Amino acid sequence: MRITALPQYKRETARFLEVTGTLVKYGLAEHLERIEPEFLQRWLGHEGLEEVARLGLGERVRLACEELGPTFVKLGQILSTRPDLIPLEIAQELEKLQSGAPEDDPATARQIVEEELGGPVEELFVNFHDAPMASASIGQVHRAWLADGRAVVVKVQHPGIEERVEVDFDILASIAALMERHDETARSLQLTAVIQEARRSVLGELDFRRELRHLTYFRRAFADEPGLMLPEPIPERSARRVLTMGFLDGRSVADDAQLDAEGRDRSALALTGAHAFLDMVFRDGVFHADPHPGNVMVLADGRLALLDFGMVGRVDRETQDDLLDLMLAFVQADEREILRIVRRIGVFPPEVDDAALRRDILEFQGELSTAPISEIEVGPLLEAFTSTLRQHRIQLPPTISMLVKLLIMLEGTSRHLDPGFSLMEVLRPYCEKLVLRRAAPRERARRALETGRDWTRLLGRLPGLLDDTARRIERGQVKIDMVHTGLEATVNRLVSGLLCSAMLLGGAMLWALKAPPVIAGIPIVGVFATMVALLHGIRLLWQVRQARG
């Protein structure tokens, strides 16, 4: 290790101890205690857990994430979109994560603005409020005004946040690798891959230019939607760590008392929001991935406004079709079709029990077969579906899982506005539209063209592949690996039998020859070896009989 790396090593070690200490505090260090060296096991004592013993697991996970700071808050928010990986009660608790953070001092915030935008704050803005409106995990938001009189908000990144996120994810990757090495469940969940995916997502959010592009795209996509408003992006006052956008004056959709006092049409607001998000998914293929009530506002003029486009998902045509097929199979209560779709899109463990999976799907599908479509609640349906997949250790692709969570959150927010809201009723025209799109001549021609192109590419490569394979066979470079499953126990017994026979024969010879040491006429080594071999042979015969039984 280079001397210059020592400060970084010291920081990572200190942070590692902080992370593991917090996990212990909330009773979440069981795996670490099993896999870490003895000195760490002693350090990870269970003192003080009585205070949190009365809390549920989900609440303890949430509190630990909040205490550990921005990286873990963001990781928790990402995991809340993966109910196929974690229990539903934990996913629901992680939705409550509060991303608050201490405010930076005014001089620090001003310095970052000036470094990023290349000029004094007084020249960039006519008026800039040093006291932030709010401070979240990644940055804080300030009120300001431009020279043309426009009111804006300026999102300023906390200093050193990127370095801390990198250190935290290095620690998480190390912990995940250790757990995968010692825990079958961790291996089946592919924790290392999940951590790497979360790292890419969080580091992407730290570049505010990405959020600026998202905001610009969605403003253009919904420019003709009269009931929807998005903040105006201000590119000339935005950079990697600073984002400036138009100020929107409104209140959260969760503010029931104020919405009722103003006489807002809750049903119209719910429909506007639902149509906007479904348009994102099925029309644009790019969607706001975090539609909780804090990111949805009602403006003074009655329009709905969407905020915070840091977390955005993308969905291709094939994934749209998969989601459509899945929803149609739910409506038709066709468990065979559901199983077929899940097999196509999911990652199955080798030991999955198809009969048990079909039985579990039938169980939560039972109530749908007789219920009118307007009474089907998408949230409980998808929650039962993901819970079933998790029980069988089946993973969904991240995009599908995010879409499932999006629909659950969308229905929850819409029902908060309008208790009589039916997302399935709103989904039905989208399903019909996509079915018609599939059957349209242009779509059929496009699919035929893609298929033809794939076959042409394959046929073009086929002669070369065959020639290459033939040459490898001629040179003896082709190796065929045969994998036998279920033979490990048989081979082990065979080896044990051979060793037992050798020990019995050797012991008998030593006994017969009275090889020293001899006590009272008994050759100790020969007798001991013979007795051990006999006992092992009896045990081996018992195991063989048990296996046959």
How many Å is the Cα radius of gyration of the chain? 31
**Residues with catalytic roles:** 290
Q: Answer whether 306's CB lies under 8 Å from 288's CB.
A: yes
> Which DSSP symbol is given to 347?
B
CA distances from 66 to 8, 14, 23, 170 (A): 24, 18, 12, 19
The structure tokens listed for 419 are 């208790």
Distance from CA of residue 107 to its chain's centroid?
Answer: 37
Asked if residue 517 has a cis previous peptide bond (ω within 30° of 0), the answer is yes
Distance from CA of residue 133 to its chain's centroid?
Answer: 30
Q: Measured between alpha carbons, how far is 410 from 427 in angstroms, rounded to an integer? A: 12
Report the 10 Å Cβ neighbour count for 502.
Answer: 12
The structure tokens listed for 351 are 């030991």
At 281 the three-state DSSP class reads: helix
> Which DSSP symbol is given to 1?
-
Distance from CA of residue 213 to its chain's centroid?
Answer: 24
Report the candidate in 241, 417, 434 with the shortest Cα–Cα distance to residue 327: 434
